[in-house]
Amino acid sequence: MSDAVETAEARTQKLEGLGTKRKRVEDARFTQGKGHYVDDIKLPGMLFGDFVRSQYGHARIKSIKKDAALALPGVVAVLTAAELKPLKLHYMPTLAGDVQAVLADEKVLFQGQEIAFVVAQDRYTAADAVELIEVEYEELPAINDATKAMAPNAPVLRDDLQGKTEGAHGKRKHHNHIFTWEVGDADATASALARAEVVAKERIVYQRVHPCPLETCGCVASMDKINGHLTVWGTFQAPHAVRTVASLISGIPEHKIRIISPDIGGGFGNKVGVYPGYICSIVASIVTGVPVKWIEDRMENLLATAFARDYHMTGEIAATKEGRITALRCHVLADHGAFDACADPTKYPAGFFSICTGSYDIPVAHLTVDGVYTNKAPGGVAYRCSFRVTEASYFIERMVDVLARKLQLDPAEIRRRNLIRKEQFPYQSALGWEYDSGDYLTALDKALKTVDYAGLREEQRRNREAFARGETRKLMGIGVSFFTEIVGAGPIKNCDILGLGMFDSCEIRVHPTGSAIARLGTISQGQGHATTFAQILASEIGIPAANITVEEGDTDTAPYGLGTYGSRSTPVAGAATAMAGRKIRAKAQMIAAYLLEVHDDDLEWDVDRFRVKGAPERFKTMAEIAFAAYNKVPPGMEPGLEAVSYYDPPNMTYPFGAYVAVVDVEVDTGITEIRRFYALDDCGTRINPMIIEGQVHGGLTEALGIAMGQEIAYDEFGNAKNVTLLDFFLPTAVETPVWETDHTTTPSPHHPIGAKGVGESPNVGGVSAFSNAVNDAFAHLGLVHTAMPHDHWRVWKTAKSLGLVS
């Protein structure tokens, strides 16, 4: 078929652009074992690093004996704080404005903290040497609880901060205090609460969990002493930021540092931060002159790199007797562990927790967050969510249910009465956000109708009667959650990390034969960027996605960007991709006009070509234009067809969704079976429905893990209790139910293609849906709130506390 007779529809299909269930280009290598992850890297002469870690949660280091280790054949070096101090590298800046010990200096502050870094010829020898290093400790009282940390006579944890009354985020009011962050109108909220017809109050704890990607963190650092160039391959969710940080810390000029993120085996927030392993590997490579590899094992991963949550929230929600919410107050005690190593935008020490008014039209609200130090691992990362958004969503979704119980209202009905109406968008929230777009009632109604909510409640009523008659030992629970996310950080005016504005970028080169390469400042960890960003571009510039290579993760070739986390890739880099594509198209239009000898205003875009208005048989395809760009451009125009866009988003995007979980709780065992889970997501324009669904499945499964079993708990001595996969719950295919997905589409008005981001929504909305369902199962027996994780033991304890089991 010739171009002339091929329909626009057929040509559109060929592009595999926006909205296509395009198969992933990444899969050919992954399904054949040809992925290239950091531990697959093997360089000549490469050494291996391994850590000696603290056995104690809080102790003074009296001595470190490393002679025996150094005497072991194959051991090349042992680094301790003593070696790093003269280089001023024993502390490193965190992304949150604090400092973190690279190797413990005199004191250890959490179990698993890095004390010494052994460098040896292979990983077995390195592990042997770790065993030979003797650390003598003087144990100190450990604090495993954020409330106890703030007691007046609590032990001082951070000796290095003594006397510092001012932190990165203002006044410190106690020696273990990091910051207070306040948003909203305190007086108006207090007065609304005081005059409210009904007030519900609840303490809601979101336990400490861990992103636990299947691949742990690691790197290979290689210093070329001849030309002074440092190359670091690593599991970096933000390679460009790592380059800048590495330059600032090491003093190596930034142009001599190359950071490469190869294939990454999942990130979920775990791989955003800068860890001691990276610094030690770099130092070791500089010292030894050969490449040094460091790969953490699973226990180290769960013990030391980047926990999430540990938010202790107290909420008060005011309403009228009819259930119209009139005010919300929240105080959070945020356990940050031993160092403040959150990865939040600088101005937001509690991330975007102020999205905690959720999807509801709440006139006034007030939020305070106190960050505190404890003897636990540092972190507080965004585990498959935008910064602290899962915490916020869990908080409000539980609070609304708690209020519903108090008012004897159905959880779906109370949501309906309070959801922000379509005509209120763009909506200004009481805590300062401008929600870009939404059609919440439509989404809720569709969800309730699809699951036959009324029918489910009727079934539950019968179940409860049967339970009361002793005919069953199972209780049915229905959890409703309506979440609003805030993703796509973010506008430079309020979002930066270490002073780096949170824009993102795309650079496109169109080749003479009409294919192209696009490079971005982000980095995929499984999201399928090479597939989806090519789709965005295909629709913008009319080149089939199959003919567009997408490349990320090499700071020498990719334009600067802030990386991939917080669902920011599509909202920010995706926007940059569309904008760079539009620059390409604008130049292509001028070239086409020149070739067709018409004014460029006389041309119109038609899928993959420019045609003359009113004379559609006269056209130039993008392939023809691409070739002409290299030999026949209009006089005065530069040859070539390339563009770059650095996109500073005007606002965040606000994906939302309505989820319903149905569970059956067996009261005698506490076993909770997920009978059904329905997820309706609205992520704006849908780029690749297949990938969106896959993301929703994955996010819901992570939510299932969090809600039903995950916890990193510490005992009173500072021992971390759940740091292997035996104790830390990751759902298998057996516990994971079949997910039902659905959608509505409300495009973002400010994003070039209307997309909002989706990867993290299912985690944000999922956790509260599960938790609401478990709580709902016992609601008729007087239960108001029971804490996560809802594992068998805790659920059984709840049943026991209600007198259901003896």
Residues in contact with other proteins by the rule CB under 8 A? 23-24, 26-35, 37, 39-40, 42, 123-124, 212-216, 263-266, 268, 295, 297-299, 525-528, 690-691, 693-695, 697-702, 724-726, 730, 732-734, 736, 738-739
H-type helices in 309-452, by residue range? 389-407, 411-418, 440-451
* Catalytic entry in 172, 384, 398, 415: 384
464 annotated active-site: no
Distance, CA of 743 to CA of 733 (rounded, Å): 24
Give residues with Cβ within 8 angstroms of 332, minimum separation 6.
Answer: 311, 312, 313, 314, 350, 353, 367, 368, 369, 370, 391
Taking the complex as a whole, the smallest distance from the CB of residue 28 to other proteins amounts, in Å, to 7
DSSP of 604-666, one letter per residue?
Answer: EE-SSEEEETTEEEEEEEHHHHHHHTTT-PPTTPPSS-EEEEEE--SS-B--EEEEEEEEEEE
Which is nearer to other proteins, 690 or 805 (by Cβ)?
Answer: 690
657 within 8 A of 764, measured Cβ to Cβ: no
Which is nearer to other proteins, 16 or 624 (by Cβ)?
Answer: 16
Taking the complex as a whole, the smallest distance from the CB of residue 527 to other proteins amounts, in Å, to 7
DSSP 489: -
384 annotated active-site: yes
Distance, CA of 554 to CA of 570 (rounded, Å): 19
Count Cα neighbours of 704 within 13 Å in the Cβ-side half-sphere: 26
Distance, CA of 364 to CA of 353 (rounded, Å): 16
Which is nearer to other proteins, 505 or 695 (by Cβ)?
Answer: 695
Query: First-to-last CA distance in the chain?
Result: 77
Taking the complex as a whole, the smallest distance from the CB of residue 565 to other proteins amounts, in Å, to 14
231 within 8 A of 256, measured Cβ to Cβ: no
Compute how many other C-beta atoms are within 10 angstroms of the C-beta atom of residue 586. 11
Compute how many other C-beta atoms are within 10 angstroms of the C-beta atom of residue 634. 13
Which is nearer to other proteins, 123 or 676 (by Cβ)?
Answer: 123
497 within 8 A of 343, measured Cβ to Cβ: yes
* Catalytic entry in 83, 114, 702, 760: 760
Distance, CA of 42 to CA of 663 (rounded, Å): 48
Torsion of CA 369, 370, 373, 376, to 10 degrees: -30
487 within 8 A of 495, measured Cβ to Cβ: no
Which is nearer to other proteins, 120 or 330 (by Cβ)?
Answer: 120
708 within 8 A of 770, measured Cβ to Cβ: yes
203 annotated active-site: no
Taking the complex as a whole, the smallest distance from the CB of residue 601 to other proteins amounts, in Å, to 43
Which is nearer to other proteins, 24 or 416 (by Cβ)?
Answer: 24
* Catalytic entry in 280, 356, 385, 506: 385
Taking the complex as a whole, the smallest distance from the CB of residue 344 to other proteins amounts, in Å, to 23
Which is nearer to other proteins, 124 or 793 (by Cβ)?
Answer: 124
* Catalytic entry in 100, 111, 237, 589: 237
Taking the complex as a whole, the smallest distance from the CB of residue 730 to other proteins amounts, in Å, to 5
The residues that bridge with 478 in the sheet, in sequence order, are 662
Burial of 257 (0-12, 13-18, 19+ CB in 10 A): buried
Taking the complex as a whole, the smallest distance from the CB of residue 552 to other proteins amounts, in Å, to 14
Taking the complex as a whole, the smallest distance from the CB of residue 743 to other proteins amounts, in Å, to 16
202 annotated active-site: no
Which is nearer to other proteins, 87 or 730 (by Cβ)?
Answer: 730
Residues tagged active-site: 237, 384-385, 760
